[in-house]
């Protein structure tokens, strides 16, 4: 917890950082440090450190320049406590961070076995993208990336939402009508929900964290389809969407 | 597409080719060049980030820079979720953006998927 407070103390920052951002980032660090449905806090920190190591990984650089990422073999730059994770999990984390557009459904399906469920995969993805998102904010502003938190004790509860099923994506997702009481809040009662939110619904806390970060960095999820909404931002909505669209395009992302 | 929708809501026009072509084409949105310049520096040329920040602050101010950093961070997250889960574009979105997707060549992106 003390690491989280130190990490998001912006008193020395050359730019004033709004309270809603620092509060959301502290919540995100508590989320990463806590045991989830499928990973312990220590394992989640190993995932976070591996995501951070991908940033400057020489193998990832060579793969990014190759016609196919599979054409280049080798070892990824190591991260502290990476040995808590299987090699194929480490490789997938690096690919999510540095070459996500070329991930395939067959690659994801190959990962799934008796010891690595879709729940493991979606929760791992949630930790990875939380770190990428917050690190990116700091890097754009020229601020040091925040110190990662210490893991919290606890055991994963292996919760699996009853309404989750494979439909249009590579991972099981939940339609609003199939939510049960435990995760009834995650779509704010909306009768329809975009695929990019449903994508994380196998891990209800991942959706909740998505909403927390979205509200601090972009818009509260219920306001996204209101084209005049700006949330807490000083930017005009078209300015926000121009940033979003160019970021997606440079990532070669269709969404 | 949220960019077109947000512009139409204001009764204005936007040059969507900026999304693909980058800062060389002015989108017509206030601060277009410095906003796109910040994204391009962040994702393609970090050595240019300091000057991109300064340019954005000159045109739009410090709060806009901090907001822009957050938006970039947000979409660095969302694109990876989309890519890593194999979600297709939502059916309703695909229907209303068919023309733009064709015009801008978005369907050629390696991650492009339409719901069937």
The token pair that represents A169 in the structure block = 């994506």
- Is the whole model's pTM more than 0.95, yes or no? no
3-state helix, strand, coil in chain A (%, to 5): 55, 0, 45
Confidence check: pLDDT of B114 > 60: no
Instruction: Read off the pLDDT of each residue in A88-94 and give the average, rounded to a whole number.
Output: 96
Q: How do the domains of chain B map onto residue ranges? A: 2-85
Instruction: Read off the pLDDT of each residue in A151-178 and give the average, rounded to a whole number.
Output: 97
Bridge partners, residue A116, by sequence: A113
Whether A200 is in a domain gets the answer no
Whether A125 is in a domain gets the answer yes
The token pair that represents A20 in the structure block = 């809603």
pLDDT tens-place string over residues A236-252: 999 999 999 999 999 98
| Closest-CA residue to A156 (of A115, A186, A96, A113) | A115
| Cβ separation A250–B39 shorter than 8 A | yes
Distance CA A97, CA A57 (A): 10
State the smallest CA–CA distance between residue A108 and chain B in angstroms: 8
Instruction: Read off the pLDDT of each residue in A110-125 and give the average, rounded to a whole number.
Output: 97
| Cβ separation A168–B81 shorter than 8 A | no
Block residue for tokens 């660095």: B76
Q: What is the mean pLDDT of chain B?
A: 88
Structural domains of chain A, count: 1
3-state helix, strand, coil in chain B (%, to 5): 70, 0, 30
From A142, A195, A233, residue closest to B67, measured CB to CB: A233
The token pair that represents B82 in the structure block = 């989309």
Confidence category of residue B90, pLDDT binned at 50, 70, 90: confident
Distance CA A128, CA A124 (A): 6
What angle, 0 to 180 degrees and rounded to 10, lies between the N-to-C axes of helices B49-60 and A118-140?
Answer: 70
| Cβ separation B88–A169 shorter than 8 A | yes
Surface-to-core class of residue A249, CB atoms within 10 Å of its CB (0-12 exposed, 13-18 middle, 19+ buried):
buried
pLDDT tens-place string over residues B26-81: 999 999 999 999 999 999 999 999 999 999 999 999 999 999 999 999 999 999 99
Distance CA B79, CA B76 (A): 6
Show the domain range for A126. 2-155
Percent of chain B with pLDDT over 90: 60
**A202 φ, ψ to 5°?**
-65, -25
**Under 8 Å between Cβ of A212 and A130:** no
Contacts of B101 in chain A (CB under 8 A): 254
State the smallest CA–CA distance between residue B86 and chain A in angstroms: 5
DSSP classification of residue A251: T
From A243, A250, A251, residue closest to B68, measured CB to CB: A243
Distance CA A225, CA A139 (A): 29
Whether A197 is in a domain gets the answer no
Whether A169 is in a domain gets the answer no
pLDDT tens-place string over residues A206-224: 999 999 999 999 999 999 9
Whether A249 is in a domain gets the answer no
Whether A11 is in a domain gets the answer yes
Scanning every residue of chain A, which has its alpha carbon at the shortest distance from the alpha carbon of B23? A246
| Closest-CA residue to A2 (of A147, A213, A133) | A147
ipTM, two decimals = 0.96
Confidence category of residue B99, pLDDT binned at 50, 70, 90: confident
Distance CA A78, CA A46 (A): 11
The token pair that represents B116 in the structure block = 């069937």
Confidence check: pLDDT of B100 > 80: no
């Amino acid at each position: 917890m003390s690491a989280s407070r130190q990490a998001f103390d912006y008193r020395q920052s050359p730019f004033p950082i709004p309270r809603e951002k620092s509060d959301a980032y502290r919540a995100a660090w508590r989320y990463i440090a806590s045991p989830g449905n499928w990973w312990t806090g220590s394992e989640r920190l190993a995932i976070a450190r591996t995501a951070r190591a991908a940033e400057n990984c020489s193998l990832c650089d060579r793969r990014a320049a190759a016609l196919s990422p599979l054409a280049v073999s080798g070892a990824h730059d190591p991260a502290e406590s990476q040995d808590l994770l299987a090699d194929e999990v480490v490789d997938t984390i690096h690919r999510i961070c540095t070459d996500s557009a070329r991930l395939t459904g067959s690659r994801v399906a190959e990962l799934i076995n008796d010891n690595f469920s879709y729940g493991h995969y979606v929760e791992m993805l949630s930790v990875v993208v939380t770190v990428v998102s917050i690190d990116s904010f700091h890097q754009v502003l020229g601020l040091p990336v925040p110190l990662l938190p210490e893991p919290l004790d606890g055991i994963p509860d292996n919760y699996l939402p009853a309404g989750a099923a494979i439909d249009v994506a590579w991972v099981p997702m939940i339609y609003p009508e199939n939510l049960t009481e435990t995760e009834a809040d995650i779509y704010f009662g909306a009768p329809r929900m975009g695929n990019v939110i449903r994508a994380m619904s196998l891990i209800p806390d991942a959706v909740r964290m998505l909403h927390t970060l979205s509200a601090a960095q972009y818009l509260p999820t219920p306001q996204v389809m209101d084209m005049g909404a700006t949330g807490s931002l000083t930017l005009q909505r078209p300015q926000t969407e121009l940033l979003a669209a160019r970021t997606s395009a440079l990532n070669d992302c269709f969404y | 597409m949220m960019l077109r929708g947000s512009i139409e809501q204001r009764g204005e026009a936007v040059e969507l080719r900026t999304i693909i072509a980058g800062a060389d084409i002015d989108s017509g949105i206030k601060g277009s060049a410095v906003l796109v310049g910040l994204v391009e520096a962040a994702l393609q040329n970090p050595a240019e980030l300091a000057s991109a920040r300064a340019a954005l602050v000159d045109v739009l101010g410090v709060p806009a820079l901090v907001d822009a950093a957050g938006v970039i961070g947000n979409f660095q997250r969302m694109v990876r979720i989309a890519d890593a889960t194999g979600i297709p574009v939502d059916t309703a979105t695909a229907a209303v953006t068919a023309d733009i997707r064709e015009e801008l060549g978005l369907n050629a992106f390696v991650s492009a998927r339409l719901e069937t």
